[in-house]
């Protein structure tokens, strides 16, 4: 998929007179195409009938006839299922739970798919944007060249990738509720907050690794596409490293925001809608406020904070790191509310 996107990007390079409108149209088409492919693949896999080979021998433990008031009923010798290892000392720990969470994450396909989509969209959109800019470089006005920021342009895919990772964050929680897995898990580990903490830890590691990978790869790919005469940057350019690392942290934080929202809302569709609404609809609503208020409110919104974080030299009200702390505040708030509800509501 990444290959397709890079190929599409090179097509844009080949046509130097393209407009920005074409690029955005192309991006939207690509997003739709990726979503359709993913849905089709999932559908196809679900439809496959189960391979024959249904349970054969019911029990390998010996059954013996055993007279009983209710007729000739055999008794299963349960020695076959006796657990011979004695229980370890102490009690189950966060590490046991984290191990279990990791098993859960890696054994469903949706994890792999959302990660593939995160990487593909993040890289692909950045590649298209940078390649297109390079192609139009000769026709750019001096003022737009003056204000050109190669770093944030190469990280622009963030704003698409954040949706994919948000979906992953939602699904690791909501899929457990919709399938009932969560109840099986709480029967095995009744300390719900510890289970949540283990989930958050495992998800954070996965999200940070994926997001930083997307971020660095987008930056490096984008800068290589912005070849001379276009202005480009390296990781040594002042502010570049911070912006790239910050970009990865921003994406990770949004994944955790999705996870926290799902803890509160529990339903996949509703939680995903809320997540998307916060990033896309809320800014539009805020724009409808009187201008003096709108500006103040607007800078507290996650997407605006993210936009500041991927710039090398923030010309904004919050410095990138203050912005990031505000974002972390939202994430913590959502997850704390989720944790409180977790032990108040029936599972």
Cβ closer to another protein: 211 or 259?
A: 259
Q: Return the number of the residue (103 or 319) whose C-beta is nearest another protein.
A: 103
Which residue pairs, CB below 8 angstroms and at least 24 apart, start in 11-17?
Answer: 12/128, 12/131, 12/132, 12/135, 13/131, 13/132, 13/134, 13/135, 13/225, 14/135, 15/135, 16/135, 16/136, 16/138, 16/139, 17/136, 17/139
- 214 vs 263, beta carbon nearer another protein: 263
CB atoms near residue 264 (< 10 Å): 18
Other residues' Cβ atoms within 10 Å of the Cβ of residue 255: 30
Taking the complex as a whole, the smallest distance from the CB of residue 185 to another protein amounts, in Å, to 7
Q: In the bound complex, what is the minimum distance in angstroms from residue 171's beta carbon to another protein?
A: 10
- Chain-centroid distance, C-alpha 113: 10
At closest approach, how far in Å is the CB of 347 from another protein? 4
Question: Given the rule CB under 8 A, which residues bind another protein?
Answer: 45-46, 48-51, 53-61, 63, 66, 68-71, 73-78, 80-83, 85, 87-88, 90-92, 96-97, 99-101, 103-104, 107-110, 175-176, 179-181, 183-191, 346-347
Q: Which is nearer to another protein, 16 or 180 (CB)?
A: 180
Place of tokens 């339903």: 267
Going by their DSSP bridges, the two strands 63-68 and 71-76 should be labelled as antiparallel
Min dist CB 186 to another protein, Å, is 6
Distance CA 64, CA 81 (A): 16
In the complex, what is the shortest distance from the CB of residue 181 to another protein, in angstroms, rounded to a whole number? Answer: 5
CB of 192 to another protein, least distance (A): 9
Distance CA 31, CA 8 (A): 13
Half-sphere exposure of 233 (CA within 13 A, CB side): 25
Smallest distance from another protein to CB 213, Å:
24
What is the C-alpha separation between 229 and 218, in angstroms, rounded? Answer: 20
Nearest Cα to Cα of residue 157 among 44, 318, 2: 2
């Amino acid at each position: 998929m990444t290959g397709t996107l890079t190929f599409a990007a090179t097509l844009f390079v080949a046509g130097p007179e393209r407009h920005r409108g074409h690029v955005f149209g192309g991006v939207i088409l690509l997003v739709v195409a990726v979503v359709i492919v993913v849905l089709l693949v999932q559908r196809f896999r679900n439809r496959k009938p189960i391979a024959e080979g249904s349970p054969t021998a019911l029990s390998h433990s010996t059954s013996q006839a055993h007279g009983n008031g209710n007729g000739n009923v055999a008794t299963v010798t349960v020695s076959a299922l006796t657990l011979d290892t004695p229980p370890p000392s102490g009690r189950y720990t966060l590490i046991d739970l984290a191990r279990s969470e990791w098993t859960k994450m890696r054994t469903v396909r949706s994890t792999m798919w959302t990660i593939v989509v995160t990487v593909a969209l993040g890289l692909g959109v950045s590649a298209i944007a940078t390649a297109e800019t390079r192609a139009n470089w000769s026709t750019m006005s001096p003022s737009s060249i003056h204000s050109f920021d190669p770093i944030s342009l190469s990280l622009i895919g963030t704003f698409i990738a954040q949706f994919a990772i948000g979906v992953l964050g939602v699904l690791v929680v909501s899929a457990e509720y919709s399938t009932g897995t969560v109840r099986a898990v709480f029967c095995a580990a009744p300390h719900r907050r510890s289970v949540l903490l283990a989930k958050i830890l495992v998800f954070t590691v996965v999200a940070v690794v994926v997001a930083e990978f997307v971020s660095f790869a987008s930056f490096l790919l984008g800068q290589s596409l912005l070849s001379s005469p276009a202005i480009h940057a390296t990781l040594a350019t002042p502010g570049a490293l911070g912006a790239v690392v910050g970009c990865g942290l921003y994406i990770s934080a949004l994944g955790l925001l999705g996870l926290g929202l799902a803890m509160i809302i529990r339903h996949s569709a509703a939680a995903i809608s809320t997540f998307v609404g916060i990033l896309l609809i809320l800014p539009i609503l805020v724009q409808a406020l009187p201008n003096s208020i709108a500006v103040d409110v607007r800078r507290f919104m996650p997407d605006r904070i993210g936009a500041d974080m991927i710039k090398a030299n923030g010309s904004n009200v919050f410095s990138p790191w203050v912005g990031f702390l505000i974002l972390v505040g939202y994430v913590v708030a959502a997850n704390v509310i989720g944790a409180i509800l977790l032990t108040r509501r029936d599972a």
